[in-house]
Structure 1
Amino acid sequence: MARMDDLRIDVVDDASAGELLTVRRAAFVTEAQLYGDPHIPALTQTLEDLRSDLARDDVVTIAAWAGPRMVGSIRVELESERANLGRLAVVPDLQGRGIGTELLMAVLEYLPEQTKEVWVFTGQDSKQNLSMYAKHGYEHQYDQHTGDLTYAYLRRILGEGEGEGEGEDAED
């Protein structure tokens, strides 16, 4: 399928919180079905909790819009020299068109200069997610068992220029 060329990527503010919650829930239903668990955090988070998260100084949430419609998002938690990615979501009807990759690469522009590594986790059985992260330089570090689920943790070490607003020029 063709990539989405008319995407606008920007920080999500409180005014878009409801739309963000809808995008995440739509996107994470597939994961919930894969793991047989309707209680994954992306599906149980309340609008109030999401608004609190968006207001945090150590969290940046960016989204992709196709025209007026939010079509994907990713959350970045910043801690010292590390960024932790989570909640990468793309609306089901547009998955497989490069939106997730665009968001993953756009994150680099929002990282503080001192960021040296980026971490992400996903379910061990989420083969498409694992493949996308590996394709973009994320290497498996360890697995963590939580109840019936096993999460794979991956890390990418940033090179010169990445994390300083120059991420769009970075090639793996």
Structure 2
Amino acid sequence: MSDAPTTIALVDDDHAGELLTLRRAAFVTEAQLYNDPNIPPLTQTLHELREDMARDDIVTVGAWEGSRLIGSIRVELEGQKATLGRLAVAPDKQGRGIGTQMLVAVAPYLPPEITEIWVFTGKDSKQNLSLYTKHGYEEQYERAAGDLTYTYLRRVLGSVEVKDETTA
């Protein structure tokens, strides 16, 4: 167990290989839950990941323990909407609040015009759904994609942020 503090910072192209490895390790349990080894986080190539990270409308935020990347989240920006995806925590670091840190850490990286944040996860991913609803995300709808059905959740920014600031 490391005593290094967790720091939050953008993930750049120099760490693309480490990010790919982190995501693959973290998403194995999702693949097992759905009995599908071909979910996108497990099939994305390093070249595809680098292309994704180079996009102007994508922000990738990481959690670091010393020099080790232990968590990440992908944020896609579109108008007034941000969509979170690929929330990943290293398997040996899961259950320690790093996923929560990643959700909270996104806010400073959002442009001021963002008014709502969306996230999606497999409809049977009870732990993920619980994490998102605990942090103010509300289920909106489900959509099938092949054999998978995703649940989409939304959090409207504004009143929740003000409430949090007054209680801190």
What is the identity percentage for the equivalent residue pairs of Structure 1 and Structure 2? 65
| Segments ≥4 residues shifted beyond 3 Å | 168-171
State the TM-score, normalizing by the size of structure 2: 0.93
- 1:19 alignment counterpart: 18
Superposition map of 1:67-86 within 5 A: 67-86=66-85
Sort the Cα spacing of 1:72 and 1:134 in 2 relative to 1 into closer, same or farther, 3 A. Answer: same
- 2:124 alignment counterpart: 125
Say whether 1:158 aligns with 2:151: no
Read off the aligned partner of 1:144 and give its amino acid letter.
R
Read off the aligned partner of 2:99 and give its amino acid letter.
G
**Structure 2 counterpart SS, 1:119:** strand
Sort the Cα spacing of 1:67 and 1:42 in 2 relative to 1 into closer, same or farther, 3 A. Answer: same
Kindly state the Cα deviation for residue 149 of structure 1 after the two structures are TM-superposed.
1.1
- 1:114 alignment counterpart: 113
What is the CA–CA distance in structure 2 between the aligned matches of 1:47 and 1:103, rounded to whole Å? 22
What is the CA–CA distance in structure 2 between the aligned matches of 1:17 and 1:103, rounded to whole Å? 18
Read off the aligned partner of 2:146 and give its amino acid letter.
G
What is the CA–CA distance in structure 1 between the aligned matches of 2:59 and 2:111, rounded to whole Å? 11
Q: In the alignment, is the contact (CA less than 8 A) between 2:13 and 2:53 conserved in 1?
A: yes
Unaligned 5+ segments in structure 2 are none
What is the CA–CA distance in structure 2 between the aligned matches of 1:27 and 1:153, rounded to whole Å? 20
Read off the aligned partner of 2:37 and give its amino acid letter.
P
Superposition map of 1:38-49 within 5 A: 38-49=37-48
State the TM-score, normalizing by the size of structure 1: 0.91
CA offset digits 1:62-84 (Å, max 9, x no partner): 10001111001000000000000
Kindly state the Cα deviation for residue 6 of structure 1 after the two structures are TM-superposed.
1.3
What is the CA–CA distance in structure 1 between the aligned matches of 2:160 and 2:150, rounded to whole Å? 30
CA offset digits 1:145-171 (Å, max 9, x no partner): 122211000000001695xxx9x8487
Unaligned 5+ segments in structure 1 are none
Say whether 1:59 aligns with 2:64: no
Q: Superposition RMSD on alpha carbons, in Å?
A: 2.1
**Structure 1 counterpart SS, 2:106:** helix
- 2:94 alignment counterpart: 95
Read off the aligned partner of 1:57 and give its amino acid letter.
D
Aligned length: 165
